Structure 1
Amino acid sequence: MRAVYAQSQSQEDPLSGLVVGELDRPQAGPGFRRVRVRASALNRHDLWSLQGVGLAAENLPMVLGCDAAGIDDDGNAVIVHSVISSPGWEGDETLDPRRTLLSERYPGTMADEVWVPARNLVPMPAQLSFEEAACLPTAWLTAYRMIFTVSPAAPGSTVLVQGAGGGVATALVSLASAAGFRVWVTGRSREKLDQALRLGADAVFDAGARLPDRVDTVFDSVGEATWAHSLKALKPGGALVTCGATSGPNPSADLNRVFFLQLKVLGSTMGTKPELQRLVQFLLATGVRPEIDSVLPLEDAAKGFRRLHDGAATGKIVFRH
């Protein structure tokens, strides 16, 4: 079958291990169902896999991709939820210490077909295209959980999104704006800041800029580069919700500020199947749709990986199968 996969790994040159070619079809696990993939979406997780983060070398070659929408063997249009909990786990699968993502232990979605546990399939409504639906399971689900499950801020509050342009950031802006938050965004690119305004941001600022007022919640996926600014941007009692650290995972904690101002630092990872189902319903109710940077045929996946690696994407990169 056609597949986009990691053949080798390199911290310095992750794209050197990327292959677009043929692989044997995966073997189905017990309780797994096949999805013939119509569209898959690219995430930074895929670049990390090529760098050796989260993907063990002994599992190579590994089909990449966490996100997909397609058709199951019963002819149903489905969205693939990529968080795979361990057998017998009940409740929030993101809290399962033995959980994994597609493309870590099990082959991912950037192939003609993917096999996933039956419980990981969510019906795809006809109002969404396969390309739009494929954007949801990682970046958009992460943003949904950050806003509506983890953050204590209510609609009408002022929130700050650090780092305009990425998949999670564009989802945060779109979802929070549609839900009635006042959304401020920082970024380094005028093009990406203009995009944030188009998606519903109320104001945009250069990275690290002094803000006109402090905010109720900061959503930060950047890490070291923005951490100090995020803490300084918060009102007393405010919350910093973090879902990642693309610029590095070891910022200065600034504990004096945290305890003196009674700030909350809250971690958030991916999301649950029920949250994915609610995200789909939110899109249907509001008319919000994922911001798509580009749609490429699967054969041209290397171009999409290069675009993400170089920081050129403004929204999601999608592969059509």
Structure 2
Amino acid sequence: MQAVQFSEHGGRDVIEYGDFADPSPGRGEVLIDVKAGALNHLDIWTRKGLPGIDLEMPHIPGSDAAGVVTEVGEGVSRFSEGDHAAVSAGVSCGECEFCRDGEESLCVSFHIIGEHVRGVHAEQAVVPADNLVPVPDHVDWEVAGSASLVFQTAWRMLLSQGDLRPGESVLVLGASGGVGHAAVQIADYAGAEVYATASTEEKLQHAEECGADHVIDYEANDFAEEITEMTGKRGVDMVVDHVGAATYPDSLKSLAKGGRIVTCGATTGPNPDAGLNRIFWNQLSVIGSTMATPGEVDDVLELVWDGTFEPRIREVLPMSEAARAHEMIENREGFGKVVVRPDSEL
């Protein structure tokens, strides 16, 4: 088969698209013929190298994909040949106390397909059956292959961890990215008043189309000052911040008393000034979130499959142009998801 791969960490020049051994499913696993996948910032970090993660090389990146089941391993009953399925990348150990029978997994041993183990940006991929979600036949491959990671992450952040309620106000930072544009849609669906930041007029317009009530160009304006003015000095009830060190201080400033930040990542660095004085004085909460439980994944993807939520596609590229796809993510070009498809599917 052909696969996106790299044999060492580094810049985009380490990415290749070429021959790779055909995979075969083991017990509890499923082989899918990949029709489409999508990139996430995680793919950039994995390519550059993450501390403490020793990958088997060559590594196939990719945490998002969808395709047709072509073979099932021993013990698999949920899927049959010909089924359409999408990958849900978080893998729990299934044994420790934090798995809680899979219903509310906080498993400390969990790993992510494409980050800790080989991913799915290839013509074929073997995935544990527990990490596949059925996809209705009417759903386009670009949608099925790009929705899972960002929508499950945003759903858990806002609703499960953040407990966002109707009538509350929420600020979504980086609304043009994958998690950001999913968070705008979910916050609007939850009945919140949605503020969103982006860096160009085109991206701000897309954010409004996704459900943002108010938009802020963070390149031209200090978003914390804008929130203070827009809310009559009150602030918002929740900030969705996956940017990290560069935005965290202003995220705290943007919160109303008793407000909360929910974070799933730190693309600009993980160690900002904690701001403890502001946290205790205004009785703020800082809440971590990552991935989602199986039930949460099912809930949010049902709303993608029926069209309630829509992963916006900025570009569809052949996998042989994976380096260009990485460039688009790194340079923050466009709005929404970058999709890659095997060259044989185009």
Same-fold status (TM-score > 0.5): yes
Q: CA deviation at 1:96?
A: 1.2
Output the CA distance in 2 between the equivalents of 1:146 and 1:179: 13
Match of 1:249 in 2: 270
Q: CA deviation at 1:57?
A: 4.4
Counterpart contact for 1:152–1:239, Cα < 8 Å: no
- Match of 2:246, SS? helix
Note if 1:151 corresponds to 2:151: no
Q: C-alpha deviations, 1:202-236, integer Å up to 9, x for none?
A: 01113233112211111001111111111111111
Please give the residue correspondences for 1:165-314 in structure 2 after superposition, counting only pairs within 5 Å.
165-207=176-218, 208-209=222-223, 210=225, 211=227, 212-213=230-231, 214-284=235-305, 287-314=308-335
Match of 2:23 in 1: 26
Of 39-48 and 271-280, deviating more is 271-280
Counterpart contact for 2:64–2:149, Cα < 8 Å: yes
Structure 1: 5+ residue stretches without partners: none
Indicate how the Cα distance of structure 1 residues 29 and 50 shifts in structure 2: closer, same or farther if over 3 A, else same.
same
Counterpart contact for 1:162–1:218, Cα < 8 Å: yes
Match of 1:53 in 2: 50
Of 147-156 and 228-237, deviating more is 147-156
Number of residue-to-residue matches in the alignment: 318
Of 219-228 and 178-187, deviating more is 178-187
Note if 1:114 corresponds to 2:110: no
Q: C-alpha deviations, 1:110-147, integer Å up to 9, x for none?
A: 01111111111111023421110111221121111111
- Match of 1:103, SS? coil
Output the CA distance in 1 between the equivalents of 2:199 and 2:180: 13
Output the CA distance in 1 between the equivalents of 2:26 and 2:334: 35
Identical-pair percentage: 37
Indicate how the Cα distance of structure 1 residues 22 and 81 shifts in structure 2: closer, same or farther if over 3 A, else same.
same
Counterpart contact for 1:67–1:137, Cα < 8 Å: yes
Output the CA distance in 1 between the equivalents of 2:305 and 2:5: 33
What one-letter code is carried by the residue in structure 1 that aligns with 2:20? Answer: L
Match of 2:73 in 1: none
Correspondent of 1:130 among 129, 135, 141: 141
- Match of 2:37, SS? strand
- Match of 2:247, SS? helix
TM-score normalised according to structure 2 size:
0.87
Note if 1:75 corresponds to 2:82: yes
Match of 1:85 in 2: 92
Counterpart contact for 1:3–1:111, Cα < 8 Å: yes
